[in-house]
Amino acid sequence: MVRWPKPHIRGVGRKAQLAMPRYLTVRELRVSVKQPGFRTKVIIVVTTLLDPKQYPKEDLAELYRARWNQELDLRTIKTTMQMDVLRCKTPELVRKEAWTHLLAYNLIRTVMAQAAAKHGVLPRTLSFKGALQTLEAFQPLIAQVGPPNRSRCTSTKSCSTPSRPTGSPTDPIASSPDGRKSERPPTTS
């Protein structure tokens, strides 16, 4: 357990500054990061979940890894599906545009999960961009095939989703717009 003193934050009023606690008690966990092809290194995960029995180190490390996968998913939605810039002008249409992107993303992930199940691999080992490109390439054929026969497409080798290479995924926050580098997440140990 470590106590962090309250920092002075510019732009925060005096009342708000005084309302904050003087110290924040946190738990620092040393977690080994193991990546194939790289040296094992140790990072520190900081949490306000203080009870080690209720929140074991391994569970928190796994939760951190799950958060990392969510970062990858958000990057995919923003970049691969071109949602980084919303093109609509009214709030109502922006909401519809966002929901449309999320619906398309979930439909593609569903096709990927079905293809993964049929080929005996984990869905996270499949490339989202590869699946999107495959679906785009077969879009005219899929449009001509009636709904009863569409499910056959994911069972054929020609429509299956390609696997991405093994190893660590590319870093969604490897460098921020201001050029800072980020740390890799742990693969839990």
Whether 178 has a pLDDT exceeding 80, the answer reads: no
Mean pLDDT of 166-182: 47
Q: What is the phi-psi region of residue 166: left when phi exceeds 0, alpha when psi lies from -120 to 50, beta otherwise?
A: beta
Whether 174 has a pLDDT exceeding 90, the answer reads: no
Mean pLDDT of 158-166: 47
Residue 187 — pLDDT band, cuts 50, 70, 90? low
Pairwise CA distance, residues 133 & 108, whole Å: 11
Structure tokens at 18: 């005084």
pLDDT in tens, 111-130: 999 999 999 999 988 999 99
Residue 152: predicted pLDDT: 66
Confidence (pTM): 0.60
Higher pLDDT, 123 or 8: 123
pLDDT in tens, 67-94: 888 898 999 999 998 888 889 999 999 9
Residue 133 — pLDDT band, cuts 50, 70, 90? very high
Residue 88: predicted pLDDT: 93
In this structure, how many other beta carbons lie within 10 angstroms of the beta carbon of residue 21? Answer: 8
Q: Which sign does the torsion angle of CA 67, 69, 70, 76 carry?
A: positive
pLDDT in tens, 33-75: 787 788 888 889 999 999 999 999 999 988 888 888 889 899 9
